[in-house]
Structure 1
Amino acid sequence: MKDGFISVACGAPKLRLADCAYNAEQTFQMMRSAEKAGAKVLVLPELGLTGYTCGDLFYQDALLREAEEALKTVLAATRNLEVVTALGMPLRVHNELYNCAVIIQKGKILGVVPKTHLPNYGEFYEKRWFAPAPPEPESLPLLGQEFVTFGAGQVFRCENVPGLALGFEICEDLWAPDPPSVQMARDGATIVGNLSASNDLVGKDAYRRQLVTMQSAKLLCGYAYSSAGAGESTSDLVFGAHQLIAEDGTLLAERRFEGGLLLSEIDVQRLCYERRRTQALGEGTGNDGCEETFSLTEGRTKLTRCVSPMPFVPEGKEDRDARCREILLLASLGLKQRLEHTGAKTAVVGLSGGLD
């Protein structure tokens, strides 16, 4: 966390459909690996404790009970882990079933974020099983904890790392015209995690990459996207474990068809600076009805992301030549406009690299 860098991880554990005990073990093992690697935030796939493609098994009480038992197992096994983890599971609330991200740390549930936008087209049938997030958050008892906030749009703010605030949305939430992450960023979230189960089609990875990088640019945030992997591929759908980490429009790290952990570092200090400079979002005061806090042990962050020694000079010759042509064209157009405006017939031009 030195100089504002926060280590973030996306994970795609091995998975067996409807085998919640097995999935719980794979989940806490991945959390331990993330902690060992120095990650402070870990995002796991959508409905990872049961599997996304369980279909009508989501109606079964047995599966829902096993999912809650799996969450208990994960909490008990990770009570000494500091990494803030978002894992996916179905959860019953007031006899409605929700597709949820459960945010945990040190064996405690920090909050539960239900999915807002449910896809119900093509190969997706989520409205058959799940209800969308309710309009207002509420507190409810869950697995022995008396008060757990349940609702979309929550912001999880770190008490001892300035500027670090987390928000989470689920898969289709990003593809919708009004993603929950927009309001979360306005409320101060500087890192957004997305738990996803987006199947792979030819060309879909490029569109997904554009969505993630553009959302991080629009919201001046870090964005960590973790999609489901091969364990889901039991029918004609293929899931490629697409993992992406972006910061302010720049793709920092990416992995497909491999599973495991993807790590990079988000420069939260820089994001806060950009928000102050542009006044687009500000640093946010948070939503009083939808905010939880956590703490982290401060220490040095080992950088794995690429830092270019010449950030304004493209590396490849073709890109470099194109950049030079564009600079010359822009300078020429600016000069042309000045000469036309002043009515000058002749001119002596000195190029200094500045406003000249």
Structure 2
Amino acid sequence: MGRKVTLSTCSLNQWALDFDGNAERILKSIEIAKANGAKYRLGPELEICGYGCADHFYESDTLLHSFEVLKTLLESPTTQDIICDVGMPIMHHNVRYNCRVIFLNRKILLIRPKMLMANHGNYREMRWFSPWSRLRHVEEYFLPRMIQEVTGQDTVPFGDCVLSTKDTCIGTEICAELWNPNSPHIQMGLDGVEIFTNSSASHHELRKAHQRVDLIKSATTKSGGIYLYANQRGCDGDRLYYDGCAMVAINGDVVAHGAQFSLDEVEVITATLDLEDVRSYRGELCNVSRYQTDFSLSDPDDVYLPTHQPIHWPLHKPEEEISLGPACWLWDYLRRSGQSGFLLPLSGGVDSSSTACIVHCMCVLLCQAVEDGNIQVLKDVRHIVADEEYTPQSPKELCGRIFTTCYMASENSSQETCSRAQELAAQIGRYH
């Protein structure tokens, strides 16, 4: 008989320092995961406080409120009977770490700090966090009193550790660790870990989704195993757009994936897989520190439970990414700014015209989301246009409500540029 496990990962649209909203979205994702039969739920990097808190990570309030959210999660009936893997900052021995907190039934099983930091390009993690540099080393972390009162635990394991259930073993990677030449999954796979998880805040960059897919497929092609990938979605307060792409892979094949560009605030991806497929793929492998938990991801009567099979993931073309990525970022920025729309000086040239087309693309996405029954998008659109009864009828009609352009002539302008601006305005329906 096989040992079939049902696992969930997700993409969440978390906002920096929106502790109440972030907690609500985390609980919603756990609720969906349980409804789909999952025994393990993985979330994005630093999902409790939001990834883009910048220098607010220095403030003790950010740590305090993160623990208050963790307390809410631990106490919620929603989080019972499922292993929950959430991200938050934690101070240990007066050093601040980017951590995963894994808990089950009001008990924290372990805390795993990030070991390899993203500190190049758009990322400055070394400014706020220290990497955990003690490989295969686990210490005792003293929990805050508010958490002790809920869990009944004084200390929990903290460090480079994996989680051993009664039927399998789960190891954690955090975002940039997957991209490192010495990724943790390599040694974990050699030590017999069967399920790898990766919690990310990976921003959209042209063709980057292909790189993620290739890295995850490669990780499980080399040593076998199941790989869960979770990612932040949306604009969490900075200039970056995080593009989701949550996925599940096994032995080099992707079996389930989420959208790259979506307006859904909570997207949960669930897959049922057979651990025997991993074991037959591998040879005999052998020792990292393990925390044993009296819990099984599989059920005794799972012989007839269908498992997810490899699928083809039709990733977006470069032209689609150029249009959809900025369009999603614009929507997040607009709905969080409290403004009523966009104003664009339209010259008729390529720069302003391209920007106008991206705004129209945003309206296309909004109308499609409303048509698909996304209540949150409809609520946000109504708030922006200040009409609680409004429902967009078409992208062109919506564009006319939230997008204004004006032609600002100079001595270098011509009748041709003026005509082009007017024509483009008419084509996409904006107020000009």
Rounded Cα–Cα distance in structure 2 between residues aligned with 1:304 and 1:192: 18
2:309 corresponds to which residue? Answer: 306
- Identity, in percent, stands at 28
| Deviation by residue 1:28-58 (Cα, 9 ceiling, x = unmatched) | 2211221111011211000000110111110
2:226 corresponds to which residue? Answer: 222
1:184 corresponds to which residue? Answer: 188
1:87 corresponds to which residue? Answer: 86
2:252 corresponds to which residue? Answer: 249
Q: Is residue 2:31 matched to residue 1:32?
A: yes
Offset, 1:223? 0.3
Contact 1:4 1:270 in 2 (8 A): no
Rounded Cα–Cα distance in structure 1 between residues aligned with 2:176 and 2:83: 22
Unpaired runs of at least 5, structure 2: 313-432
Give the TM-score normalised by structure 2: 0.65
Rounded Cα–Cα distance in structure 2 between residues aligned with 1:193 and 1:273: 21
Rounded Cα–Cα distance in structure 1 between residues aligned with 2:188 and 2:235: 31
Contact 2:45 2:51 in 1 (8 A): yes
Give the paired residue count.
Answer: 296
Give the partner amino acid of 1:158.
T
1:263 corresponds to which residue? Answer: 270
- Structure 1's consecutive aligned runs of 4 or more residues displaced over 4 angstroms after TM superposition are none
1:149 corresponds to which residue? Answer: 157
In the superposition, relative to structure 1, how do residues 231 and 81 fare at CA in structure 2: closer, same or farther (>3 Å)? Answer: farther
2:104 corresponds to which residue? Answer: 105
Residue 168 of structure 1, aligned match among 172, 181, 187 = 172
2:292 corresponds to which residue? Answer: 292
| Deviation by residue 1:187-244 (Cα, 9 ceiling, x = unmatched) | 2210000000000111000011100111011121100000101152x33211011211
Higher deviation after alignment, 295-304 or 236-245 = 295-304
| 3-state SS, counterpart of residue 104 of structure 1 | strand
Offset, 1:86? 1.2
| Deviation by residue 1:110-132 (Cα, 9 ceiling, x = unmatched) | 10111110111110000000000
1:327 corresponds to which residue? Answer: none
Offset, 1:147? 2.7
Rounded Cα–Cα distance in structure 2 between residues aligned with 1:27 and 1:122: 29
Residue 280 of structure 2, aligned match among 273, 276, 281 = 273
| 3-state SS, counterpart of residue 243 of structure 2 | coil
Contact 2:164 2:290 in 1 (8 A): no
Rounded Cα–Cα distance in structure 1 between residues aligned with 2:162 and 2:178: 17
Rounded Cα–Cα distance in structure 2 between residues aligned with 1:81 and 1:70: 16
1:320 corresponds to which residue? Answer: none
Rounded Cα–Cα distance in structure 2 between residues aligned with 1:294 and 1:133: 27
Contact 2:202 2:231 in 1 (8 A): yes
| 3-state SS, counterpart of residue 97 of structure 2 | strand
In the superposition, relative to structure 1, how do residues 157 and 60 fare at CA in structure 2: closer, same or farther (>3 Å)? Answer: same
Give the TM-score normalised by structure 1: 0.78
1:346 corresponds to which residue? Answer: none
1:140 corresponds to which residue? Answer: 141
Offset, 1:183? 2.0
Give the partner amino acid of 2:28.
Q
In the superposition, relative to structure 1, how do residues 14 and 44 fare at CA in structure 2: closer, same or farther (>3 Å)? Answer: same
In the superposition, relative to structure 1, how do residues 244 and 8 fare at CA in structure 2: closer, same or farther (>3 Å)? Answer: same
In the superposition, relative to structure 1, how do residues 175 and 78 fare at CA in structure 2: closer, same or farther (>3 Å)? Answer: farther
Offset, 1:291? 3.0
Residue 210 of structure 1, aligned match among 190, 214, 218 = 214
| 3-state SS, counterpart of residue 177 of structure 2 | helix
Offset, 1:79? 7.2
| 3-state SS, counterpart of residue 102 of structure 1 | strand
Unpaired runs of at least 5, structure 1: 309-313, 315-356
| Deviation by residue 1:255-279 (Cα, 9 ceiling, x = unmatched) | 1233410111222112112223xx4
1:323 corresponds to which residue? Answer: none
Higher relative contact order (CA 8 A, sep 6+): 1
1:321 corresponds to which residue? Answer: none
| 3-state SS, counterpart of residue 224 of structure 2 | coil
Rounded Cα–Cα distance in structure 1 between residues aligned with 2:174 and 2:186: 13
Rounded Cα–Cα distance in structure 1 between residues aligned with 2:107 and 2:78: 7
Q: Is residue 2:244 matched to residue 1:236?
A: no
